[in-house]
Amino acid sequence: MDSFTHRRNVLGLGAVLAAGALLDPHKAAAQAASESVLRTALDRGKLIVGTGSTNPPWHFEDDKGNLTGMDIAMARILAKGLFDDDTKVDYVRQDPAARVPNVTTGKVDIVIQFMTISSSRAQLVAFSRPYYIEGSGMMVTPKSKYKTLKELVAAGAAVNAAILANVYADDLVHRLLPQAQVLQLDSQANVFQAITAGRADVALVDASTVKWLVKRNPDIYANPIEGDMAGQAQLYGAAVRQGDLDWLQFVNTCFDVAMYGHEDGIYDKAYEEFFGEKRPPRVTGFPPM
């Protein structure tokens, strides 16, 4: 072997070894800022996710008491990206009001809890890229005297509309039911209970939740309107602590590759399971937003 060939082989081997080193997550963690959650999570060996447990199809308990849902799938995607093991997640079950405090104080690494992205919240936390565009849906019971949106609007102030408490609650209701009385409640479970108990005539909840519940419990719930409500779109994203760009970039990369790239197994299976339809086809060429 001549000296040129030997030198070329040595350089090639060095490049391979260097590439392998870069693919080692624990060595890669050293490149992240020491205070970054990316480095902290890798050193810890598990991801800590703040989420809920009472809002299907986003986060709820299965028959064995284990958390499942689309939010849980997104957490598993991150764990798979971090450790090549989607089970390395500890879940902190929290009320919606704890989402911002828990991530800003470091109690959790990230919040994945069907959190609506808004400019006001973005002053407190950093949001990931959206992983779902939600619409608003209406739900009644099969025994309800109101069967359509037209009937609900015509009833005016006689209608009591239950909705999960949030800064947009009154506006969301009155866009669809201008004169309805708004009943803001502290959990989706209480919103559902309000219509089954007769405290409310209609529940305004996420369109995905309406589809989930009406399909599985047609004897309890009915959907007076087909499809999502025009003009009611909300972006769902994960929330992380502000100022940690290494961690935010990693989260966005995992979500991008799961939603639009080749690491799509968890996302695609969850999308079909929890929304009852296959995810839209991936299109090659011009990249997604």
Q: Are 211 and 275 in contact (CB under 8 A)?
A: yes
3-state secondary structure of 80: helix
Residues 51 and 182 in one domain: no
Residues 40 and 126 in one domain: yes
Whether residue 41 lies inside any domain: the answer is yes
**Residue that finishes a domain, picked among 216, 243, 266:** 216
3-state secondary structure of 37: helix
Rounded to an integer, what distance in angstroms lies between the CA atom of residue 237 and that of residue 116? 7
**Which residues have a Cβ under 8 Å from the Cβ of 36 and sit 6 or more positions away?**
244, 246, 247
Residues 106 and 154 in one domain: no
Q: 197 pLDDT band (50/70/90 cuts)?
A: very high
Q: 24 pLDDT band (50/70/90 cuts)?
A: low
Note the pLDDT of residue 25. Answer: 55
* 149: its two tokens: 């949106």
Residues 182 and 101 in one domain: no
Using CA atoms, how far residue 52 sits from 42, 59, 239, in Å, is 24, 6, 14
Whether residue 224 lies inside any domain: the answer is no
More confident residue, 33 or 155: 155
3-state secondary structure of 129: coil
Q: Are 228 and 137 in contact (CB under 8 A)?
A: yes
Rounded to an integer, what distance in angstroms lies between the CA atom of residue 70 and that of residue 271? 7
Residues 140 and 129 in one domain: no
Q: φ and ψ at 113, to 5 degrees?
A: -155, 60
Span 48-98, pLDDT tens digits: 999 999 888 999 999 999 999 999 999 999 999 999 999 999 999 999 999
- Residue span of the structural domain in which 38 resides: 32-133+235-275
* 260: its two tokens: 């639009």
Note the pLDDT of residue 209. Answer: 85
Residues 245 and 126 in one domain: yes
Whether residue 230 is predicted with pLDDT greater than 50 in this model: the reply is no
Note the pLDDT of residue 33. Answer: 67
Whether residue 283 lies inside any domain: the answer is no
State the residue for tokens 């839209």: 280
Q: Edge-to-edge strand order for the sheet containing 67-68?
A: 54-55, 59-61, 67-68
Residues 186 and 127 in one domain: no
- Percent share of the chain, pLDDT over 70: 85
What mean pLDDT is predicted for residues 145-162? 93
Rounded to an integer, what distance in angstroms lies between the CA atom of residue 222 and that of residue 2? 80
CATH of the domain at 154: 3.40.190.10
Whether residue 6 lies inside any domain: the answer is no
Rounded to an integer, what distance in angstroms lies between the CA atom of residue 185 and that of residue 187? 6
Whether residue 91 lies inside any domain: the answer is yes
How many domains does one find in the chain? 2
Span 104-133, pLDDT tens digits: 999 999 999 999 999 999 999 999 999 999
Residues 253 and 189 in one domain: no
Residues 118 and 144 in one domain: no
Residues 76 and 96 in one domain: yes
* 186: its two tokens: 């502290």
Rounded to an integer, what distance in angstroms lies between the CA atom of residue 101 and that of residue 120? 15
Strongest mean pLDDT among 103-107, 163-167, 171-175 = 103-107
Residues 108 and 40 in one domain: yes
User: What are 61's strand-pairing partners?
Assistant: 67
Whether residue 65 lies inside any domain: the answer is yes
Whether residue 12 is predicted with pLDDT greater than 60 in this model: the reply is no
Note the pLDDT of residue 175. Answer: 87
Q: 10 pLDDT band (50/70/90 cuts)?
A: very low
E-assigned strand segments in the chain: 47-51, 54-55, 59-61, 67-68, 89-93, 110-116, 126-127, 132-134, 136-139, 160-164, 181-185, 202-206, 234-240
Q: Are 133 and 234 in contact (CB under 8 A)?
A: yes
Residues 128 and 263 in one domain: yes
Q: 28 pLDDT band (50/70/90 cuts)?
A: low
